[in-house]
A and B are shown apart, each in its own frame.
Chain A
Amino acid sequence: MSEFRIADRVASVPPSGIRRFFELAEEMDDVISLGVGEPDFTAPWRARQAAIDSLERGRTSYTANRGMAELREEIAGYVERYDLSYDPDDEVLVTAGASEGLDLAFRALVDPGDTVAVVEPCYVSYRPGVTFAGGEVLSVPTRAEDGFELTRDLLERSGAADADLLVLCYPNNPTGATMDREGLAEVAAFARENDLTVLSDEIYAELTYEGEHASIAALPGMRERTVVFNGFSKAFAMTGLRLGYALGPADAVGAMNRVHQYTMLSAPTTAQYAALTALRKCADDVGDMRDQYDRRRRFVLSSFEEMGIDCVEAEGAFYAFPEAPGGDAEAFAEDLLEAERVAMVPGTAFGAGGQGHLRASYATGIDELREAMARLRRFLDAEQ
Chain B
Amino acid sequence: MDRRELLELLRENARYSTADLARQLGADEEAVETAIAELEAEGVIRGYKAVVDVEQLDDTPVRAFVECNVALDRETGYGDIAQRLVKFDEVRSLRLVSGDYDFALEVEDDSMGALSRFVSEQVAPVPEVTQTVTHFIMTSYKEGGIEFGDGDDDDRLSVTP
Contact = CB atoms under 8 A, between A and B. Distances in A.
Contacts of B22: 302
A22 B25 contact: no
Interface string B136-161: 00000000000000001010111111
A260 interface: no
Interface residues of B, number: 17
B158 A296 contact: no
B7 interface: no
A303 B23 contact: yes
A299 B156 contact: no
B40 to A, nearest CB: 22
B30 interface: no
A36 B25 contact: no
Nearest to B17: A370
B159 A35 contact: yes
A342 B161 CA distance: 17
B25 A38 contact: no
Contacts of B5: 291, 295
Given A295-B25, A298-B25, A36 B160 contact: yes
Given A18-B161, A31-B158, 12 more contacts: A33-B159, A36-B156, A37-B160, A123-B161, A291-B8, A295-B24, A298-B26, A299-B20, A299-B23, A302-B22, A349-B161, A366-B24
B9 interface: yes
Contacts of B157: 22, 36
Interface of A: 16, 18, 21-22, 25-26, 31, 33, 35-38, 40, 42, 123-125, 173, 291, 295-296, 298-299, 301-303, 343, 345, 349, 366, 370
23 contacts: A18-B159, A18-B161, A21-B159, A22-B157, A22-B158, A22-B159, A33-B159, A35-B159, A35-B160, A36-B156, A36-B158, A36-B159, A36-B160, A42-B152, A124-B161, A295-B25, A298-B26, A299-B24, A301-B26, A303-B23, A345-B159, A366-B20, A366-B24
A370 B20 CA distance: 8
Interface in B1-53: 5, 8-9, 20, 22-26
Interface in B87-106: none
A38 to B, nearest CB: 6
Given A42-B152, A295-B9, A370-B20, A302 B26 contact: yes
Contacts of B161: 16, 18, 37, 123-125, 173, 349
B9 A35 contact: no
B158 A33 contact: yes
A299 B24 CA distance: 4
Nearest to A350: B161
Interface of B: 5, 8-9, 20, 22-26, 152, 154, 156-161
A321 B116 CA distance: 61
Contacts of A26: 158-159
Contacts of A345: 159
Nearest to A370: B20
Given A40-B154, A42-B152, A295-B9, A25 B24 contact: no
B161 to A, nearest CB: 4
B158 A18 contact: no
Nearest to A32: B158
A362 B25 CA distance: 15
Residue among B9, B160, B161 with most chain A CB within 10 A: B161
Nearest to B156: A36
A349 B22 CA distance: 33
B71 to A, nearest CB: 40
A40 B157 CA distance: 11
Contacts of B9: 295
A345 B159 CA distance: 8
Contacts of B160: 18, 22, 35-38
Contacts of A38: 156, 160
B156 A25 contact: no
A40 B159 contact: no
Residue among B20, B22, B154, B159 with most chain A CB within 10 A: B159
Contacts of B154: 40
A332 B127 CA distance: 74
A141 B24 CA distance: 31
A226 B157 CA distance: 33
Contacts of A295: 5, 9, 24-25
Contacts of B156: 36, 38, 40
Contacts of A31: 158
A117 to B, nearest CB: 20
Contacts of A291: 5, 8
A349 to B, nearest CB: 8
Nearest to B28: A302
Contacts of A33: 158-159
A296 B22 CA distance: 11
Nearest to B20: A370
B20 to A, nearest CB: 6
Contact of B158 (A25, A299, A370): A25
